[in-house]
Structure 1
């Protein structure tokens, strides 16, 4: 098998899918889907890849649940849509995504917290400008329109810092 090393040179690799998986996991934590995709790109046999992934799961060296939980912690200040998209990009299956999102703090609470942090950067602006900026900020953070609407109804209660 051939693959390019970091300097772009080609070298022969006589490693098994399991050995190559361990090398890849040494560099970065990966979901089983990411690992499988990478090994297929390196032209390993599909059966050998599946066997290697099963073995790594048995040894608790890869865990889609752990990756999901890590992403949820990393993006706890974002909305469910954003977090779910990050998990989906990492190849995390729907049941794992849903179970992690269920364990997180209420999305509305997270949106209120994000809005409270953002409001400080909007001091001195007029009310309609603040509302527009806040809506765009929350939407780009992955909060759904229903949650954003609830936050906007609470807007007058936000503490806007004095200039």
Structure 2
């Protein structure tokens, strides 16, 4: 028995959004999974957009800030996570352009300091691999290694 007999798509969408923010894509998928028709989902989403309860740009900015503040993700990884949430590429590009590259290399440096308790030239290659597997760019990795050469951990 489909769940749409118990609640309409609008009520179900409000219930879903009350727990956490979602992208429009994610919300649509959840409502389709609950066996609501395309027309019911379209009407509910349109109403949510009208009221401002659903906004992909705000969602993307909140998620980006959350992951940035965690200090353990590269820009590439954060973008990948935004794509997994179904955020449109145009919004991702806008969020990416507002990104401060200083934060990314600070996050990489923090990760290296946490992971490697001592610094010597033999760790250099390990640091390159460690940061590269986490999606950091070669520019950021070079900057971290230069910083590590200047100072002891």
TM-score (ref. length: structure 2): 0.84
Normalised by the length of structure 1, the TM-score is 0.79
Aligned partner of residue 68 in structure 1, secondary structure: helix
Matched, 1:126 2:130: no
**Do 2:13 and 2:44's aligned partners in 1 also have CA atoms closer than 8 Å?**
yes
Give the aligned partner of residue 103 of structure 1.
98
State the secondary structure of the residue aligned to 1:75. helix
Give the number of aligned pairs.
149
In the alignment, what sits opposite 2:55? 63
**In the alignment, which residue of structure 2 is the partner of 1:9?**
none
Which has the higher Rg, Structure 1 or Structure 2? Answer: 1
| Superposition misfits of 4+ residues, deviation over 6 angstroms | none
The correspondence for 1:40, drawn from 27, 32, 43, is 32
Greater helix content: 2
| 1:1-33 residue CA offsets vs partner (Å, 9 max, x unmatched) | 435xxxxxxxx8421111110111112211110
Q: 1:15 to 1:123 in 2, by over 3 A?
A: closer
Consecutive unaligned residues of structure 1, counting only runs of 5 or more, are 4-11
2:8 corresponds to: 16
Cα gap change, 1:145 to 1:55, in 2 (>3 Å)? same
Partners of 1:103 and 1:52 in 2: how far apart? 31
Choose which of 11, 22, 36 in structure 2 pairs with 1:30.
Answer: 22
- Which deviations, in whole Å up to 9, do the C-alpha atoms of 1:43-80 show, x marking residues without a partner? 11102111111110111111111111111111113222
By relative contact order (CA 8 Å, sep 6+), the higher-ranking structure is 2
Gapped runs of 5+ residues in structure 2? none
* 1:146–1:121 distance in 2 versus 1, CA, 3 Å: closer
Does the CA-based 8 Å contact 1:79-1:111 persist in structure 2? yes
Q: Contact between 2:119 and 2:152, CA under 8 Å: does it hold in 1?
A: no
Q: Is the alpha carbon distance of 1:26 and 1:122 closer, same or farther for their aligned partners in structure 2, counting shifts above 3 Å? A: same
